[in-house]
Amino acid sequence: MKIVIFLVGVTLFLSGFSLSFIVQEIYNSNTEMPFSEKLNLEVFAPSDSVKEKDIMVFEDRVVIYIEDSSVSNYLDSGSMLPVLNEGSNGIRIKPLSEEEISIGDIISFNSDKGLIVHRVLEKGIDSEGVYFIAGGDNNEYVDGKIRFKNIEYKTIAIIY
């Protein structure tokens, strides 16, 4: 019995010791770790479109190198709250292919209501080819199938 308790104690000690190196690495780097107490979230983050090597931080400014980009701003529709609101500024690119669009990306697409900005929730293939299902983060309903030819922009940064 004493040997079992001893082995459990040693195992716990070694586990904690090993974990301390991981925790120390996280806290001593510039990497931030999002934390959530919720499990099984059905929310997807945008794909990584801006590489760290393209971001330069100086004492008096930040420079982000992104070819063929433009600035976007948004109306107060409420559909993308809390991510986008009136007055938010975005940086967007014109995607060149379907492969550049991933689940979680924020896209601007043409619809009969105008240019809509929503998050990609699903990507699939049917008899007509690749389609995307998008929806507002704050909406209960999705937009239906969106074809690549209707996608104008992909938001790659939001500046508050």
**Long-range pairs for 123-130 at CB < 8 Å and ≥24 separation?**
130/98
In this structure, the answer to whether residues 92 and 151 fall within a common structural domain is yes
Kindly state whether residues 90 and 13 are assigned to the same domain: no
CATH number at residue 148: 2.10.109.10
My answer on whether 10 and 80 are in the same domain is no
Residue with tokens 């931080």: 57
Q: How many domains does the chain have?
A: 2
Q: Indicate whether 19 and 97 sit together in one domain.
A: no
**Are 133 and 76 within one domain?**
yes
Question: Would you say 79 and 118 are in contact if contact means Cβ atoms under 8 Å apart?
Answer: yes
| Closest of 80, 85, 91 to residue 157, by C-alpha | 91
The predicted-structure confidence for 42-98, as pLDDT tens digits, reads as follows 668 899 899 999 999 999 999 999 999 999 988 888 889 889 888 899 999 999 999
Dist CA 95 CA 101 (whole Å): 7
Range of the domain at 23: 1-33
What CA–CA distance (Å, rounded) separates 76 from 86?
5
Residues 112-141: tens digit of each pLDDT? 989 999 999 999 999 999 999 999 998 999
pTM to 2 decimal places: 0.73
